[in-house]
Chain A
Amino acid sequence: MLLFLGAFLITQNFHNQYYYLAAFTVLQYIILSQGWNILGGYTGYVNFGTGAFFGVGAYTSAMIVKTFKIGKSAPFLELPILFIAGGLVAALLGLGLGYLTMRIKGIYFSISTLALAFVTVTIILNIDALGGATGLYIIRPRKIPFFTNYMEFLFLVMVALSIFAVAFARYIENSWIGRGLSAVRDDEDAAECTGVPVLKLKVFATMASSTLMGVAGAAYPYFVTFLEPISTVSLDVGVNSLAMPLIGGTSTWAGPLVGAVLLGIIQQIALVTLSPEYSLLVIGILLVSFVILAPEGIVGLFRKFRASLKK
């Protein structure tokens, strides 16, 4: 609630379009990294292919916008439809990923997800209806009732979605499902032999993870108004969505949240003051430092700090 209020205040005060764009990107990464963490953090399957799920969600959404033009007749209904559709199609792709988790583990799984992202780019590049290499323009509605402009509306919806993503991850983490996922991550044989339906939980985790990624993607076309496969199904998206939870801490919902906000802001600053290449470099250096020095992430460091205060 508090977050929502804060966000509303931001919309009232940030007349500078730039802040909108930066904040939107951070919100997008909150959803992506919570999604990534359900499979990568809770379940232990490291996915490099977030871009594929994000991209599939984005293209699904763009095609619905272009084909059905719901925006004019039912402006408030359109976004939910886009989210559901983007999430569903990404979940379908997630089913394929779920099948992979049955067969391969560890580094081989991760490499396959990377391959999945490349295959997705190639497929989109070769489908003319999706704009191919030239890309697709999406016209963002200029106005929507009750809001000064559409971007403001989209931004608030994004805030709501991020809150939902955090709440959803938190719910899973604290339920029997989350405990089962931890068991799967620690030892699949021991999990099975203590009654945990490993396959079912892995499929659930991949579907939940990819749905969130697809939903984040579904909001993207109206944000950028131009889709092009290489930057949409991008490796950057994959690396960021993995680096944020890893740096924040993968064991709890707070990790991806902290990671996405912190890295998102650092990246935006680096983007403006330095260059896009530098902003990825910053992430890379932070990622390597954390993996080596603080594998429990910022949340882990914070916990250690608090524990040492108690003593």
Chain B
Amino acid sequence: MSQPLLEVQQVFKNFGGFAALSGVNIYVNPGERLGLIGPNGSGKTTMINCISGLLTPEKGKIIFEGNDITQMTPHHRARAGIMRTFQIPKPFNSMTVVENLCIPLEYAAEHKTSLSVAEEEARKILTLIGIEALGDLKPTGLTQVDMRKMELARSLAGRPKLLILDEVMAGLSGSEVDEILEILFKLNEQGITIIMIEHVMRAVLGFSKRISVLNTGLNIAEGTPDEILNNPEVEKVYLGE
């Protein structure tokens, strides 16, 4: 059996005196679809920030493709193939949507491309996500839903091996959720490993092969979607919310 693509080992992260992560363990195998769920404030976004490198954990290790990347800068992680979306979208507001995608295409994707090639690639990715009509607009003119789609498109432009989605489905309609799910399944079939953080239960249960549950910065359960649905501890956390 091959090694996991990503392993988070006993990660601790504090904000002042507040422990946001208290020894979290997560792993994801190459080609897998992992769901990460937990009530608000359970530390999911903090975990993603530690994986993408915006935060450095106080304790613990993050291993990607067998290498310890705990101290690696975020842009090196992006180039190594870890791409993420932001729960609160962070568009480059002075650029058009196409130009937003050109940044990871030029800076993170494996082969450094010329701008015209990058723009062409960007439009292909926008077509894949279904927002090709928005290519020449500035992000400030987009709806929240389109903004999320742009976040997804931009992270795809980095040619990820591991794609981490922080609540991209929030605010999407039922049919839009299905559309995005279909795209994500296709990307996964092409070999991209995906970690999905999601409050839209239908999406995360239908998509994930395995689900990991966090509560107050601790792992509380892990298993197939069915096992998670029938886990009394998970039920307690969610009903208690």
Contact = CB atoms under 8 A, between A and B. Distances in A.
Nearest to A192: B74
Contacts of A185: 94
Interface residues of B, number: 30
A182 B90 contact: no
4 shortest A-B CB distances, which residue pairs? A195-B108, A195-B107, A192-B74, A190-B90
A147 B99 CA distance: 49
Contacts of A193: 52-54, 74-75, 78, 83-84, 86
Contacts of A194: 75, 78, 83, 103-104, 107-108, 154-155, 157-158
B95 A186 contact: yes
Interface string B82-99: 011010001111110001
Given A191-B92, A192-B53, A193-B86, 17 more contacts: A176-B107, A176-B115, A179-B102, A179-B106, A183-B103, A185-B94, A187-B90, A187-B91, A187-B92, A190-B91, A193-B75, A193-B83, A195-B79, A195-B103, A195-B109, A197-B75, A199-B73
Interface string A164-194: 0000000000001001101101110111111
Nearest to A186: B92
A185 B95 CA distance: 11
A183 B158 contact: no
B86 A190 contact: yes
A251 B93 CA distance: 13
A246 interface: no
A196 interface: yes
A192 B91 contact: no
Contacts of B109: 195
Interface in A178-224: 179-180, 182-183, 185-187, 189-199
B73 A192 contact: yes
15 contacts: A179-B103, A186-B93, A187-B93, A190-B86, A193-B74, A193-B86, A194-B78, A194-B103, A194-B104, A194-B155, A195-B79, A195-B103, A197-B107, A199-B73, A251-B94
Interface string B26-68: 0000000000000000000000000011100000000000000
B98 to A, nearest CB: 12
A251 B96 CA distance: 14
A101 to B, nearest CB: 16
Interface string B183-209: 000000000000000000000000000
A176 B74 CA distance: 19
Interface of B: 52-54, 73-75, 78-79, 83-84, 86, 90-95, 99, 102-104, 106-109, 115, 154-155, 157-158
Contacts of B52: 193
Most B CB within 10 A of own CB, among A190, A192, A196, A199: A190
A102 B103 CA distance: 21
B138 to A, nearest CB: 11
Contacts of B99: 179
A240 to B, nearest CB: 25
Contacts of B158: 194-195
A180 B157 CA distance: 15
Contacts of B102: 179
A198 B95 contact: no
A176 B102 CA distance: 10
Contacts of B79: 195
Contacts of A196: 75, 103, 107
Interface in A132-189: 176, 179-180, 182-183, 185-187, 189
Nearest to A191: B103
A190 B88 CA distance: 11
Contacts of B155: 194
A65 B238 CA distance: 76
Contacts of A187: 90-93
A182 B92 contact: yes
Contact of A186 (B75, B86, B94): B94
